[in-house]
Amino acid sequence: MNEERGTRDDQRAQADPSSGLGTPDGHQARPALGQDGSAPGTAGARGPGGAGGADGADGAPATGQRPAKKRSKSRSWWIELPILLVFALVLALIIKTFVVQAFFIPSSSMENTLEIGDKVLVNKMVYDFRAIHRGDIVVFNGEGSWDPVASQTAPPLTRLWNSIIGLFGTAPGVHDYIKRVIGIPGDHVACCNAQGQITVNGVPLHEKSYLYPGNAPSTIRFSITVPPGRLWVMGDHRNVSYDSRGHQALPGNGTVPENKVVGRAFVIVAPVSRWRVLSIPATFQQPRLAQAAGSAGPAGPAALPVLSAPVASAVPLGFGLVGAIPLTWLQLRLRRRLAGSQRGSRPPPRPPSWRRPGRG
């Protein structure tokens, strides 16, 4: 009886291999696994590149798409980088043209306030919000006043190149000068009173705080009423400065047009040991001088609404911060792309052997 049942079980197992009666103990018989965990006869199919292998279920290597993605990310990076550089250049040119420009000091005419090699920032917007004040240090273009009008203009590419070079701070050009404003439109400027002082509207200037040590206020005698729309300017190193005093034979009697003023130098930024704000000396803020200017009529600065110096100096800083927002956004985006590209270039970790596809 037992032998007959065992014979029938053997026959049933041979007829139906999927049944659980393939072994005498009733468990399903399974094919033996190879050394790599695959069934016999499938080792070649589960090898590298084979279907259902450890490198991918579809027969393609898991890294088959990686080179294309890496090339795409690299191409995107090389496209975004020039765009970022061009945007930064355009932004810098806009700020330089309309807001702030750096200048190197090439001569000793403003010593010791400004020394040769100093780098100053010139606020180009301040006079859109207030009038030019006595005591301001200004950069102006002398073409048509101290210098003849240029007969030819530079080619566009040359002007663009000069603008780009100017981003790093340039010395004033052939027609650019930097001086201190002594008289504004309507002022009567004269040298000198009995004490050897320059007077503005009869009020003597106490110039010791900025005048070069050992210099007299002026060794050249003059007396002039500044015409409308023009300025009387002088250097702080009076013995070597070729300023309004030396151009009195020219049209305007040495004065320069207000509309030729590039902007106000408001801070020394280099070298670091020379860093300081260029404020208006106290002598130009004398109450008597302000009263005399008020009695002179609308030409005096007291008749014009002005912004305080801290507010006016903060205007270009505000524009710079606003312009830096999109630039910062592009920089962050570029950094994220670079970080993603670096992560994508690393091969993914291989899964543990017990999690690899193809295991029974």
Catalytic (active-site) positions: 109, 179
Q: What is the CA radius of gyration of the chain?
A: 41
Q: Distances from the Cα of 97 to the Cαs of 60, 92, 94, 131, 261, in angstroms?
A: 58, 9, 5, 20, 13
Region class of 10: left (phi > 0), else alpha (psi between -120 and 50), else beta: alpha
Q: Are 284 and 134 in contact (CB under 8 A)?
A: yes
DSSP-assigned letter for residue 167: G
In three-state secondary structure terms, 312 is helix
3-state secondary structure of 231: strand
Q: Alpha-carbon distance 156 to 159, whole Å?
A: 5
Beta-bridge mates of residue 122: 101, 265
Report helix, strand or coil for 5: helix
Q: Report the length, in residues, of the chain.
A: 360
Of 295, 355, 354, 306, give the one whose Cα is nearest residue 126. 306
Contacts of 336 (CB under 8 A, 6+ apart): none
Nearest to 178 by CA among 246, 104, 284: 104
